[in-house]
Chains A and B, each alone.
Chain A
Amino acid sequence: MPAITTERLVRAFDERNAVDGLDLEVHEGEIYGFLGPNGAGKSTTVRMLCTLLSPTAGTAVVAGHDVARHPEQVRLRIGVALQDVALDPKQTGAELLRPQGRLYGLGRADIESRVVELGRLVDIGDALGRPIGTYSGGMRRRLDLAAALVHNPQVLFLDEPTTGLDPVSRARVWEEVRRLNDELGMTVFLTTQYLEEADELADRVGIIDAGRLVAEGTPEELKRKVGDDVIIARVDGDPASARAAVTGVFGVQGVEARGSELVITADNGSATVGPVAVALDNAGVRVRDLTLRTPTLDDVFLELTGTHIETEEIQ
């Protein structure tokens, strides 16, 4: 049974469809990366799947229950860490987790043992007695994650879980997500605008743009759609003439001009990079540098939508 299924899912705000006929199938036990730029419809999708927002049309089934008809059954089976950490800064970490456990019907002993376990799990055990207002950004994220895990959910939704985190905290959250999936078999639905995050964590990736799913597959499958290799040429002068010079070179599959860069996709990059350099030189194009690399999900996104995912680089 799939952990999450949606069919022609729509959510409209006024006249605009933020999510526009989304069909998804997320398998049990997988990490599904939901990738897209700001405003693509990722968070709206998550809010519908976790029952905070009613769908305008279509259906969504999470952990075997329809989100519109049986939202209370869905809530028992999901854990959610939303994009903005949902914490009360005046409470201590433990004061946040205990009522959370009560609301999920856990007994007093279970709650106490769970608070200790989760404090250890997300590595904030020592800080659980301190007000949340004194926590660092990374600690708040991890506490938010702990709160989502109090009741041992079947499906965990993480809405941009590492946005705003420093690289160390980000890596720590990645580690946690991997571990929850590996050791507890938890299905993870992860939205992100970080390409590296989806690449690093997700078993499969769905790319959403303007409320529609434009591609889906494993990161490797998606990248193969672009080509086996990517050659980046940083050039001086008019990139359009440089593009014309490269188009038609043997082995070149496609050429995109991005500012002063040419992004050239090729079947066999190492065999093609030489002819590309010669073609540019023959056309009188001054090349500042030439780089050969494998495709990224951003290349996939560019190929599919004609635009980049605008996001900060992960250092």
Chain B
Amino acid sequence: MTVLAPTPPAPGITARPAGVVHDLLAIAGRALRAVPRDVEVIVPPIFIALFFFLVNVATLQKVVEGTVGTFDIKAFQMPTAILIGVTGVSRAPALVLDVQNGYFDRLLLTPVRRTAILVGHMCADVVVSCALTIPIIVIGFIMGVRFETGPLGLLLFIAMAGLWSLAFAGFGYAIALKTGNPAAVNTSFLLFFPFLFLTSSYVPRSQLTGWLHTVSAWNPVTYLLEGLRAHTMNGWQWGDLGQAFLAIAIVGAISFSLCFAALRGRLKRG
């Protein structure tokens, strides 16, 4: 048997509550360090978003711009591409793996605040989502999209995309903590399809007809898109921006209620 080194005493080491900021930094830091190792989390969203951006512009440009001379389809489509890219980006699948391999229990054994485990992952998600918007925006710039709200508007645009991603990620975390099943978590993205397609993703809301026009009025993504498009098409439209933030807040309130309830349930089950 290997001869082991003598046990070092650790007299100065005393555990104490780290504080909420340290808790969040420790959890978010770990989640962010894992991102480069999970390339499959980053590449598909960017690829899909860019694909739809380029294809939609190529498909619709002549039709739309031929009908309405001043309409900029690229500026109109970029927010749609951004939402396709950032919606569903979350560490919820990684959290499921943590539950399965016992690391989640290891976290629960520490003095970390229980909510910090979830919020720390979400903070990492916001950083990743904001980073994912960059390549799409760069492609948009190359294609001629400009921000009518200037550099500050650009930052707000990225922040809105990140906050939306966060609000939607709550559903993934709720499913992750409720089921502990990676396949179930991956299907949470399907929730986004009605959000994305029953709205003004491809043409302005005024051009929608019948039932779709009615449904889009109830779809929070409609208002989010209009808020994002204010930056790329119309300038500071405070009404549109306010409604976009309200839409994010409503979706976030629902998804966060679900995911924190799921966290409480998992802690109770032990």
Contacts and interface: CB of A to CB of B under 8 A. Distances in A.
Interface of A: 47, 50-54, 72, 75-78, 80, 82, 84-91, 95, 99-100, 102-106, 110, 114, 117, 120-121, 123, 147, 151-153, 168, 171-172, 175-176, 179-180, 183-184
List the 4 closest A-B pairs by CB distance, nearest first. A86-B102, A53-B270, A151-B15, A86-B106
B151 interface: no
Contact of A85 (B5, B7, B98, B102): B102
- With most chain A CB atoms within 10 A of its CB, the pick from B7, B17, B98 is B7
Contacts of A151: 13-15
B9 interface: yes
Contacts of A175: 1, 4
B51 interface: no
B16 A123 contact: no
22 contacts: A51-B108, A72-B17, A75-B109, A75-B110, A76-B17, A76-B111, A86-B103, A88-B101, A90-B37, A91-B34, A99-B27, A100-B106, A103-B110, A105-B18, A105-B19, A120-B5, A121-B8, A152-B13, A152-B15, A172-B4, A183-B9, A184-B9
B26 A103 contact: yes
Contact of B105 (A82, A91, A183, A184): A82
Contacts of A168: 1
B255 to A, nearest CB: 25
B118 to A, nearest CB: 15
B111 A88 contact: no
Nearest to B17: A105
B60 interface: no
Contact of A103 (B6, B38, B112): B112
Contacts of B105: 52, 82, 86
Interface in B1-52: 1-2, 4-10, 12-19, 22-23, 25-27, 29-30, 33-34, 37-38
A99 B101 CA distance: 17
